[in-house]
Structure formats: structure tokens, C-alpha cells
Amino acid sequence: MTDQDNRPRDARPIGVFDSGLGGLTVVREIREKLPGEDLVYLGDTARVPYGARSSETIVRYARACGRSLARHKIKMLVVACNTVSAVALDVLRVDLDMPVLGVIEPGARAAVAATRTGRVGVIGTTSTVASGAYPRAVSSLATKADVVSIAAPLLVPLVEEGWLEGEVPTLVVERYIDALRGASVDTLVLGCTHYPMLRPVIERVARRTLGESTRVVDSAEATANELAAFLEERGLASAKQRDGALKITVTDRPQSFGAVAERFLGHSVGDVEVVDL
Ligand code: DGL
């Protein structure tokens, strides 16, 4: 299909997935930036968390998620999960034969844009940190930048439990951020899409521990911007300017997922469908 300026348009939905709730932080930015796009989201709530699993297992789960979303005749896939983006992006591209956008490169770009000193801290899951994906992505963009990465595995279960404020998340975040004391980073990347839900706590602790001017960045907004540019370049953008639909699918516990999604996105999400991978 083409619009009045003869640019090709594509009405098919975009697939987005994560192990659980975290990818909604990316969905929120995509809907803000591209309100006309239809989205189908998959949260693999039966298997969350992915972050401490082996690369083989993450690749297996990611392929199953990709296949599930491909059944919705999507035009492209956004991997709204750093862990999967770190280890399974290429496999998904080959498997699905469609454009696949991850969150690590946009996150690295946001970090390089934010840092003044070139010293960047990253917190992420154990697998993301072990993969070295952030240091690789950052150094391909800025040869003078240094990345110090810390695994913060307990933050994902806190988010999935909805434990976003108060004493317990603060103590856990303090423990992790303390490991960056003395690393002289001026920018902290939330290298897991669950972490922006804990942003107020993380920001408070980071500023207290690492310095008041510490910049906290996440990849959600940068990913939405790259997605918008990509869709335009490839003639894949929707002709609609607004009212894009959001369909949410999960592999377990649809009611609680729907309730958190509505709270987080600020609107009703309709029936959350359970899918079997
Ligand atoms: N939200 C995901 C990420 O960005 C995965 C977290 C997990 O399942 O451990 O890494």
C-alpha cells in the first residue's frame, strides 16, 4: 500500500517480546513515538527470569518466542530484552527472515551520547554482563569509552513482584551500585528492560553513591527512535497516525500481567491471551 506521497506503507503489526514485564518499558516508548503502529507483545512469564540461564537455553526460548509472534504475521520483531539481544539476535534474524531490532545497540548509543568522561557503568542480568555485549557495542561507537558492568540479578524478580519502592529494593540496589563506587563512571546504563520500572530508586541510589551528576540512561527511548527511523527508511511504517492496537500475550498468569500492564501503560489493555510456546 502507498499513501498520498507515494511512500509505501505497511499495516502489519510489529512483534515485541521480553521474558516478562520489562519489555513494556519499550512498548510504552514505541506507543509514544509511533502511536499508529499495531503491536503484538509476548511476555514469557512461564520462564522468566532469563537472565541467569545459559546462552543455549536463552536462544531456545527466544526462538520459541519469535515463532509465536511470527504467527501474527508481523512485519518485524523488536527484542525488548537485553539478555536475548545479547545472545540470540543473529539466530532470530536467520530463523525468522525478517528485520529484528534489539535494545543493546540503541542503549549503547544513548550511553555514548550521555557520557562526558567516557566512563560508563552498566547494570544488567548475569548473562548480559557475561556476554560482553555492552562493552563491545560501546567500543564500536566510541573508541575512548570504557565500560564497567555489574550483574544485578535480583532486580528482575523484584519488578515481577511489583516491589518497586521502599526499603527492600533500595537495599538491593545499594548493594549492586556500591560495586561501582570508585569506578568513576558518570553514566549508568539500565542494561535490562525491567530496570526502568525501578528507575526512581536506582537514580536516587546512583546519585548518592556515584555522584549527584550521574546520568541514568535506558535503551527504551533510543530503541523507539531507531525503530521509527528504520520503518520510514524501509517503507514499513503504518499509514495510521494514531489508534494503534496493542495485543498482549503471555505464557502464564494473564490476569496479574494485565493488571500491571494497565497500571504501567496507563490505559486498559483488554484481554491478555495465554499462548503455549
Ligand atoms: N528484561 C530482560 C532484559 O532486558 C530479561 C530479564 C530476565 O528475564 O532476567 O535483560
Atom of ligand 1 nearest to the CA of 153: 9
How many angstroms separate the CA atoms of 254 and 240, rounded?
A: 29
pLDDT tens profile 164-190: 999 999 999 999 999 999 999 999 999
Q: Do 58 and 129 share a structural domain?
A: no
Q: Do 18 and 68 share a structural domain?
A: yes
Q: Do 193 and 111 share a structural domain?
A: yes
Q: Do 184 and 164 share a structural domain?
A: yes
Give the chain's domain count. 2
Res 134: pLDDT: 97
For residue 149, the domain's CATH number is 3.40.50.1860
What is the chain's length?
277
Q: Do 169 and 93 share a structural domain?
A: no
Q: Do 177 and 245 share a structural domain?
A: no
The answer to whether residue 1 is domain-embedded is no
Res 101: pLDDT: 98
Atom of ligand 1 nearest to the CA of 22: 1
What is the domain range of residue 182? 104-219
The answer to whether residue 6 is domain-embedded is no
Res 5: pLDDT: 65
Kindly give the distance from the C-alpha atom of residue 185 to the centroid of ligand 1, in angstroms, as a whole number. Answer: 23
Nearest-CA residue for ligand 1 atom 2 is 81
What is the DSSP code string of 120-154? EEEEE-HHHHHHTHHHHHHHHH-TT-EEEEEE-TT
Residues of the chain with pLDDT under 50: none
Report percent pLDDT > 90 for the chain.
Answer: 94
Domain boundary among 173, 188, 219: 219
Res 44: pLDDT: 98
Residue 191 in contact with ligand 1 by CB distance below 6 A: no
How many angstroms separate the CA atoms of 178 and 205, rounded?
A: 9
Cell output for 232: 520510514
